Amino acid sequence: MEILYEDGDLLVVNKPAGLLTVKTATEKTRTVYRILTDYVRKGSLKSRKQIYTVHRLDRWTWGVLIFAKSEAAMNRLKDRWAETKKTYIVVVNGHLKAKEGVITSYLAEDTRHVVYSTPNPANGKLAQTAYKVLKETARFSLLEVDLLTGRKNQIRVHMADQGNPVVGDRKYGDNTEGFERLALHSESISFPHPSRDERMTVEAKVPGCFREWVGAIPKTGE
């Protein structure tokens, strides 16, 4: 797991797909949180050093993930989280009718932990996903996605709602054989540093398998 940035307040890593951010009822040890806790303690079981979770990525999502090194730094980051800009690179099935736009719905979760869109604001939380098509191939589209809100499985649900599920996303409708990895990558996060009066941007390289699906990756923001 690559460390992208580290100082006295922050630890920012490039999370690989398949690794949980934090523990669950069924997985308590193989998590980013556990690995980084061991890292800051430098193998000392008696050390009281710890890290603090600022946000999470789905297990099968790749990319930039921020942890704080103190509770104070975590709280400062969360207090200004609305100022955070998160950009993703996504490969979806097929071609979208509108090549750029904002998808808006209210997201709810059923008892099977499947997230879905509902038209009723009383039954879900507002979710907004801005996207732009960067490239199209015969089978797929490469998108740059900006999360305007940060709901669970938001990009995956919104892409499925358009009829263009994320490549490798069995949970939300991609049943294509031969694509076992989720084509969803948190490429960059821009945020106010918790201690210094400056804005930081941390980026993670797009995984090589994305190029296997769509060829060369255009630079985002162009």
List, as own/partner pairs, every contact residues 212-216 make where C-beta atoms lie below 8 angstroms and the sequence separation is at least 24, other chains included. 213/91, 213/137, 213/140, 213/167, 213/179, 213/183, 214/91, 214/135, 214/137, 214/140, 214/142, 215/135, 215/137
SS3 70: coil
Gyration radius of the chain over CA positions: 18
Options 7, 38, 58, 169, the catalytic residue: 58
SS3 67: strand
- Answer whether 172's CB lies under 8 Å from 160's CB: yes
Strand partners, 86: 147, 189
- Answer whether 62's CB lies under 8 Å from 73's CB: no
| Whole-Å CA distances, 161 to 68, 115, 118, 138, 157 | 34, 11, 11, 21, 6
Residue (of 208, 160, 216, 141) closest to 181 by Cα position: 208
What is the residue type of 140?
A: F
Q: Is 38 a catalytic residue?
A: no
Catalytic residues: 58
